[in-house]
Structure 1
């Protein structure tokens, strides 16, 4: 079975933290992070706010739905298929979600396009926006800390990767597994969220202690993962795997229809995606390429990479160029 290590990122020996992160990044691509410093009160307010939104009638939530090309607002159940982002057709996923992210207005003077840094939509729900913004800021802080640790672990120095993140495309996706009745028969191969790899640099995940999240092991089997008490799950995305020329792993994962004692149960999570600057070029770093390890990926900008992935998961077009990631699933 894959072992997902627990790493205290507040440990005083920064080199030891980097060593442990490097080992996890090479072997499993997931890690449990403690010492992150996020107050319990911020999480409590955030989960209360998201619970209130998802408990709203579907008609009310759907007022905040955006077109598929806009990665903001509400997504109803069965509106996406994450497997499409690998270029593979799959059944529609069961989850519903609400997305917010960095906006062009957050980076004045850079002239960023609103098509890349979309404007958020906010539900007219008391306390929702401040609670979500507080969690967004906390998760963003963890993601930036991890990016500095990654730079140290790769021998690039703590600023070695931050050059790609000065105006990072960051998205917080609040997810509710709004399932049918507990005894319903699901469609063949239907899951809470289909098999996929994340797209960017790093994902910071909070989730209920409810079964569902599974990662693909080296033998092609699905292994369950649950967050440790007080920990946040962190995993690597495709951009970082490509920058490291697959020295580090962007791990395939999915969310099975969550069950306890054979009965479907509710499940919540919140994934913060730190994806990098829209104009940053993703190409294997010179320190990760040599005669024995030739470059495995052609250069692509973060913006073009994200558009291709989102056209698959949200737009229904099978993503091209994900053959190396998809091969693991096949």
Structure 2
């Protein structure tokens, strides 16, 4: 058989690592080397349970992709931003405000951040299962690799995390996996995100915040770690701390849907993006993110048959009879974020009501 060739792609030069003194969060590091065996999962389940209950965040290493494969995907992630003309990009603008979906481009200055300042973040999203989605011409040669990367995230990383979270609740391993199908039209998507430097005036007006503190709306978010130190989480002591870059690792956080499924046992962690340290300013920040959602028609109600929840109790955000489906909640969150009226509380927290639930953004 002839050798399979892959199309050439321009290399994205990553930002040099920072040498600044940083107050890092103690994000637990989870080694996935043996997650493919029942014995390995049994050993990892308590670690993941404690990480996601205490922090709602963890860092995964030995996830199955090499550093070279990781870098190749970063190079591909840059294609929609550098190789597609603006007039062609305009044909693929997502209908987030109208339809609550992320498919295609989110342009810069789409969201309001604070004090009249709009964001400088550009996205390109591929929605699972992606095979029917139209893409810009420059990205089309790389679609087999994009699809393969999505499958790796879904089956080799996400599903294993979901199994470990189910074990942590003493539920059957496949409990959450069965709510996250890949080959049906769904909500889960891969996002290429590029952050551009901002003016000094914008930094002052927003107090250096690039994306306000928030929780994700889905179940599990996978952020492939990149060198620009700008992500912060609110740690259990109520302080903002940076997440350290670990080469070829995945930062994992739980979202609102997982917190609701687990009756408050697993925490949807508050996180934000801020101006990078001095020696990383002036560079772009390019990221790979896989946002997982339960199947569209799944109701966001607790797993009351969990022996763990029966022992520790259940915290509900809304009564079960009033709980939204994953489709309802995710669509409303997407359409409203950065584009709707909020109530500013005295402590600086912005509040919105989404599908009967209170959603907060932290300034």
TM-score range, shorter chain: 0.7 to 0.9
Give the drift of 1:188: 1.3
| Structure 2 CA distance for aligned equivalents of residues 31 and 301 of structure 1 | 27
Q: Is the 8 A contact 1:2 1:28 kept in 2?
A: no
Cα deviation 1:92-113 (Å, max 9, x = unaligned): 322110011125x87xxxxxxx
Q: How does 1:38-49 map to 2 (within 5 A)?
A: 38-49=65-76
2:334 counterpart of 1:310? yes
Give the drift of 1:196: 1.4
Secondary structure of the equivalent of 2:189? Answer: strand
Give the drift of 1:2: 3.9
| Structure 2 CA distance for aligned equivalents of residues 314 and 15 of structure 1 | 41
Secondary structure of the equivalent of 2:293? Answer: strand
Residue number among 2, 24, 30 corresponding to 2:51 in the alignment: 24
Q: Which runs of 5+ in 1 are unaligned?
A: 107-118
Q: Output the TM-score relative to the length of structure 2.
A: 0.76
Cα deviation 1:193-227 (Å, max 9, x = unaligned): 22211111111111321110001123432110033
Q: How does 1:269-288 map to 2 (within 5 A)?
A: 269-286=287-304, 287=306, 288=309
Q: Is the 8 A contact 1:49 1:128 kept in 2?
A: yes
Q: How does 1:2-21 map to 2 (within 5 A)?
A: 2-11=25-34, 12-21=39-48
Residue number among 125, 134, 140 corresponding to 1:99 in the alignment: 125
Secondary structure of the equivalent of 1:74? Answer: strand
Q: Output the TM-score relative to the length of structure 1.
A: 0.83
| Structure 2 CA distance for aligned equivalents of residues 13 and 102 of structure 1 | 29
Structure 1 window deviating more from structure 2 (183-192 vs 130-139): it is 183-192
2:95 counterpart of 1:64? no
| Structure 2 CA distance for aligned equivalents of residues 297 and 317 of structure 1 | 22
Residue number among 257, 262, 270 corresponding to 1:244 in the alignment: 262
Cα deviation 1:151-197 (Å, max 9, x = unaligned): 1121102112123223453111110002246x665361263322211
Secondary structure of the equivalent of 1:278? Answer: coil
| Structure 2 CA distance for aligned equivalents of residues 185 and 291 of structure 1 | 45
Structure 1 window deviating more from structure 2 (232-241 vs 186-195): it is 186-195
TM-align CA RMSD: 2.8
Structure 1 residues 16 and 198, CA, compared in 2 at 3 Å: closer, same or farther? same
User: For residue 14 of structure 2, what is the aligned residue in structure 1?
Assistant: none
| Structure 1 CA distance for aligned equivalents of residues 116 and 301 of structure 2 | 29
Residue number among 198, 204, 211 corresponding to 2:222 in the alignment: 204
